[in-house]
Amino acid sequence: MALRSIYTVTGSNDTGKRHVYTVSRLNREARTMLAGHFLSIWVEGEISNLARPSSGHIYFTLKDDQAQVRCAMFRTQQRRLSFRPENGSQILTKAQVSLYEARGDYQLIVDYMEESGDGALRKAFDRLKQQLSDEGLFDTSRKKALPPVPNCIGIITSPSGAAVRDILTILNRRFPAIPVIIYPVAVQGHDASHQIQRAIETATQRQECDVLIIARGGGSLEDMCAFNEENVARAISRCSIPVVSGIGHETDLSITDFVADVRAATPSAAAETASPEASGWMRNLTQFEEQMKRSMQTRLENHLKAYHWLTARLQRLHPGKLLQDQAQRLDDLESRINRSVQNRLTQLAARVSARYADLAGYSPLPLIKTLDTRYQLLAHRLISTQQNTMESKRQLLAKLSRSLETVSPLATLSRGYSITARQTDGTLLRSAENTRVGEIVETRLANGSLICCVQKIRKS
């Protein structure tokens, strides 16, 4: 006998009718009410109890630290997944609130799922780390060495955090003489990465310090995301100043740690890495001072021994006596040289006198006088002969000029005659038959010439 959906029961204590639901109707109406009230909502949590049956659907529990809810995602909705859900994954889901009537279980029907929280950040962290590593930004060949004693230390961090206080305390204890410049930035939040980038670029542009510390205290991966941004990593790679990173605790790793020239486990460790220890330098200076003292003392003792030895030797071989002997020998040699030079000069003078007497008999002066007289005579005769010859040639030239003038065609032209020739080839025309009508001829006169065209030919 089938149960009715609603039936009426009359009890001794009831004053009216009771509306009794079947379990299936109750679940169905509860499901309808939940779906109509929540529609589509976003829910964030951690996956647990993940199951993948052969149907291709996935079932899991979504939980936080205080509650949990069952979830189902059907196979057709999984095509848009960009990752593989696993137990422990932190996700953000878009789902419809429903109820599984067969068991009365309240559940979520998931339409869309994406990573959230540390899971998404970890994925982004790994992708960026691989990309920058492939570009060579992590290569040790790019790392710059820290100066042994920096002239100034720059700190990029929050001005109000514990990290800056720890760094300043360490620097003051280790080497208080080194000046410090703080570039204040936000270390978390939406604009933090841009502030850090601008601070790095400002420090590079100003060149106020020769080592740069980038630091912040510990926190979650989400808190550290400003130090895992690409713009910060590239700003560090372009920075000409050596960079020391001190991000979070010893177990925390960031992109900044990989790009920086030196990675320190904590902000305090970064301060120790960037600064020398004054006490150690003082010990080294003291040791160097003692070594220099010992070295100078040894050298002075050696020089003093050499001085005493040379003094004793000088006393044994005093140069005064040697100088006296050498002076006497020098005087003797000087006398011998003077006598030898004097004798040599006397001999040479006698030889010169004898040679002079011999040369006097062979003097060329008489011959020169005779030749000079003959030269004067010959010169006079040459001039006279030249003048006579010139006069004779001049007279002959005048005679020949008169003869030439007599037979010259120019003289003929001057008497009114002319010479005619073809203009084309310059052939002289001696007869009218040698030309033709229309031909161009040139007629030369005593003064100038005429270019003529033959119009008529008369034969004599």
pLDDT tens digits for 310-363? 877 777 666 766 776 677 788 788 888 888 888 888 888 888 888 877 777 777
- Mean pLDDT across 217-244: 86
CA distance 257 to 125: 12
The yes or no reply on domain 122-280 and CATH 3.40.50.261 is yes
CA distance 21 to 26: 6
Cα radius of gyration rounded to whole Å, the chain: 64
CA distance 252 to 29: 51
Give the Cα-Cα-Cα angle 252, 253, 256 (nearest 5 degrees).
Answer: 130
- Mean pLDDT across 37-55: 86
Angle between helices 230-238 and 192-206 (to 10 degrees): 10
pLDDT at res. 198: 94
Cα separations (Å) of 333 from 325, 326, 327? Answer: 12, 10, 10
- Mean pLDDT across 177-184: 93
Q: Indicate whether 93 pLDDT > 60.
A: yes
pLDDT tens digits for 189-229? 888 899 999 999 999 999 999 999 999 987 766 778 888 88
Model confidence band, residue 20 (pLDDT cutoffs 50, 70, 90): confident
Domain boundaries, the chain: 23-115, 122-280, 413-453
pLDDT at res. 402: 79
DSSP-assigned states of every residue in 147-192: PSS-S-EEEEE-TTSHHHHHHHHHHHHH-TTS-EEEEE--SSSTTH
More confident residue, 236 or 429: 236
- Mean pLDDT across 130-137: 88
Burial per residue of 27-48, b for 16 or more beta-carbon CB atoms within 10 angstroms, e otherwise: beebbeebeeeeeeeebebbbe
CA distance 17 to 10: 7
Cα separations (Å) of 49 from 52, 71, 78, 88, 100? Answer: 10, 10, 18, 9, 18
CA distance 124 to 221: 11
- Report the predicted TM-score, pTM, of the whole model to 2 decimal places: 0.45
The single-letter DSSP state of residue 97 is: E
Q: How many CB atoms lie within 10 A of CB 371?
A: 11
Cα separations (Å) of 387 from 18, 270, 384? Answer: 179, 119, 5
Q: Indicate whether 3 pLDDT > 60.
A: no
Show Cβ contacts of residue 38 under 8 Å, excluding neighbours closer than 6 positions. Answer: 96, 97
CA distance 314 to 318: 5
Q: Which CATH superfamily is domain 23-115 in?
A: Nucleic acid-binding proteins (2.40.50.140)
| Residue 208: exposure state from Cβ atoms within 10 A (0-12, 13-18, ≥19) | middle
pLDDT tens digits for 142-168? 999 999 889 999 999 999 888 899 999
CA distance 59 to 51: 5
pLDDT at res. 16: 57
- Mean pLDDT across 7-30: 65
- Mean pLDDT across 9-16: 49
CA distance 48 to 180: 50
The answer to whether 178 touches 227, Cβ cutoff 8 Å, is no
Task: Report the relative pairing of strands 419-422 and 440-444 from DSSP bridges.
Answer: antiparallel
Structure tokens that stand for 113 in this block = 């799922």
Query: Average model confidence (pLDDT) for the chain?
Result: 83
CA distance 108 to 295: 86
Q: Indicate whether 269 pLDDT > 80.
A: yes
First to last CA, the chain: 173
Q: How big is the chain, counted in residues?
A: 460
pLDDT tens digits for 110-133? 998 887 765 566 777 888 888 888
Strand, helix or coil for residue 215: strand
Cα separations (Å) of 236 from 63, 199, 224, 268? Answer: 40, 10, 16, 20
- Mean pLDDT across 249-255: 78
Where in 252-322 does DSSP place strands (E)? 262-264
Model confidence band, residue 7 (pLDDT cutoffs 50, 70, 90): very low
pLDDT tens digits for 379-417? 888 888 988 999 888 888 888 887 887 777 777 777 777
Show Cβ contacts of residue 237 under 8 Å, excluding neighbours closer than 6 positions. Answer: 137, 142, 259
pLDDT tens digits for 55-82? 889 999 998 878 888 999 998 888 888 7
